[in-house]
Copies of this chain bind each other. A is one copy, B any other.
Amino acid sequence: MRIGVLGAGQLGRMLALAGYPLAKDFVFYDMSGSPSAGIGETISDPEGQRLDEFLNKVDRVTYEFEHLPVEVAEKIAAKTIVHPCPRALQICQNREAEKTLFGQLGIPTPQWKIADSAETLRAAAEELGCPVVAKTNTEGYDGKGQAVLRSPDDAAAAWQSIGHPRLMVEKFVDFSRELSIIAVRAECGDVAFYPMADNDHHQGILRYSVAPAPKLQAHLRTEAEYYIRGLLTELDYVGVLTLELFETPNGLIANEMAPRVHNSGHWTIEGAMTSQFENHVRAVSGHPLGNVEPRGVSCMINIIGEHGEIERILQLPYAHVHLYNKQERPGRKLGHVNILADNYQELVWRVLNCAQFLPGCPEFNSTLMSKG
């Protein structure tokens, strides 16, 4: 079976690495002009002229990023099997549609309003009560296209800095930490949930994920599984789905979902019985799902901007290095390191030991220590 992947970045690369052992082949369709998967065949098509050529080569189609034009996904779905469905893509590309669906399914969200001018942004800030976060309603990721309004008076400046005609305005959530849950649904409808991850961001980019999330109350996991199951069922979803959540004193509040394998699930490569990548390939291919149980406790550290002292990290007996073979550039995800341990205390010390070899990690020590 040949699986076509829309997008050709590191997520596609890791899907392929997980899929070859299941006798799958991969063809990547890249519209960015800078594919980096570096494995399988890549059809580079910045002009959008080679889609049929791509479709003729593959048996099934999936994607590794959600910023694909929905028309493209629908055109593909008319010709071949696409997992997950274009509707999931459409919802993830539109915060208003996403929040509306969350609401319909009983998934708590921050209070929100839509703004389509500096004036309505100001009004939204006043009604919701500051601080609020304004985000482009479509597009935007890794913290781009966002602004925090500490007062309604910030509205004009925020509107100008974001420069987008339609904004999602959310009341600021006083959360204790960010969590994510990754689930996978098979063609037959079977669902499996990975243990939740505890995620720390820096400058809008995921810095590290600890999984299973330490000190997690059992009912919060049950809640998260209930929420994501609702989404999977509603969307008749096939493949891996990620739901980002805030932990608050009043329970979980959904932030956003991603219709794909997710950075906060990279720990599963060595830290779970079956990785999120293999499970996505299994689901998309119509196979049964693999076991999602964790193997010990894990921490995924992103390698961002610079590679740091990789040779030193390769010497650590508990570290697994995953490089994306990309050039260094500020803010770019270049790879990740999975740290394994038998318990959280051991994990934290191992992560601190590894982090000294990665630029930009040491500042997280105090956050990290609290997880031990």
Q: Is A315 an interface residue (CB 8 A)?
A: yes
Among B21, B273, B290, B322, which residue has its beta carbon within 8 angstroms of that of A323?
Answer: B21
Contact partners of A311 in chain B: CB under 8 A: 287-288
**Are A314 and B290 in contact, with the CB atoms below 8 A?**
yes
Closest to A14 in B: B21
Instruction: Using A25-B325, A287-B311 as known contacts, list a sample of 15 further A-B pairs with CB atoms less than 8 Å apart, ordered by residue number in A.
Output: A13-B20, A17-B21, A20-B39, A20-B325, A21-B320, A22-B321, A23-B323, A23-B325, A39-B40, A274-B320, A282-B314, A288-B314, A288-B315, A291-B318, A293-B317
Binary B-proximity of A19-34 (CB < 8 A = 1, otherwise 0): 0111101000000000
- Closest B-chain residue to A24, C-beta based? B325
Number of copies: 2
On whether A38 and B22 interact (CB within 8 A), knowing A288-B311, A290-B314, A291-B317, the answer reads: no
Contact A287 to B273, CB < 8 A, known contacts A20-B38, A38-B20, A323-B21:
no
Q: Kindly list chain B residues whose C-beta atoms are within 8 Å of the C-beta of A23.
A: 323-325, 335
A262-308 contacts to B, CB under 8 A, are: 273-274, 282, 287-288, 290-291, 293, 295
**Are B21 and A321 in contact, with the CB atoms below 8 A?**
yes
Residue of B nearest to A21 (CB): B322
Within 8 A of B (CB), among A336-365: 340
Q: Which of B17, B25, B291, B293 touches A20 (beta carbons < 8 Å)?
A: B17
**B residues within 8 A CB of A38?**
20, 25
Number of interface residues of A (CB under 8 A): 32
A to B CB contacts below 8 Å, 25 in the list = A13-B20, A17-B17, A17-B20, A17-B21, A20-B38, A20-B39, A20-B325, A21-B320, A21-B322, A21-B323, A22-B321, A22-B323, A23-B323, A25-B38, A25-B325, A39-B40, A273-B317, A273-B318, A273-B340, A274-B320, A282-B314, A288-B314, A288-B315, A291-B317, A293-B317
Please, how many angstroms separate the alpha-carbon atoms of A318 and B323 in the complex?
27
Q: Quote the shortest CB–CB distance from A291 to chain B (angstroms).
A: 4
- 4 tightest CB-CB pairs across the interface, nearest first? A291-B317, A23-B323, A23-B325, A21-B322
Q: What is the bound-complex CA distance between A25 and B37, given in angstroms?
A: 11
How far does the alpha carbon of A14 sit from the alpha carbon of B333 in the complex, in Å? 25
Chain A positions 138-158 with a Cβ under 8 Å from a chain B Cβ: none
- A314 contacts B293, C-beta separation under 8 Å: no
Q: In the complex, A287→B323 CA distance in Å?
A: 14
**Residues A314 and B291 in contact, CB atoms below 8 Å apart:** no
Instruction: Tell me the complex Cα distance, A324–B20, Å.
Output: 8
Query: Chain B contacts of A17 at CB under 8 A?
Result: 17, 20-21
* Most-contacted residue by chain B among A20, A311, A324 (CB, 10 A): A20
* A324 CA / B323 CA spacing, docked (Å): 24
Residues of the B chain whose Cβ atoms lie less than 8 Å from the Cβ of A325: 20, 23, 25
A282 to B293, CA, bound (A): 29
Q: Chain A, 25-54, contact with B by CB distance < 8 Å: what is the 0/1 string? A: 100000000000011100000000000000
* Distance in angstroms between the alpha carbons of A321 and B288 in the assembled complex: 12
A340 CA to B290 CA, complexed, in Å: 14
Contacts of A322 in B (CB 8 A): 21
Which B residues are CB-close (under 8 A) to A335? 23
Residues of B within 8 A of A273 (CB): 317-318, 340
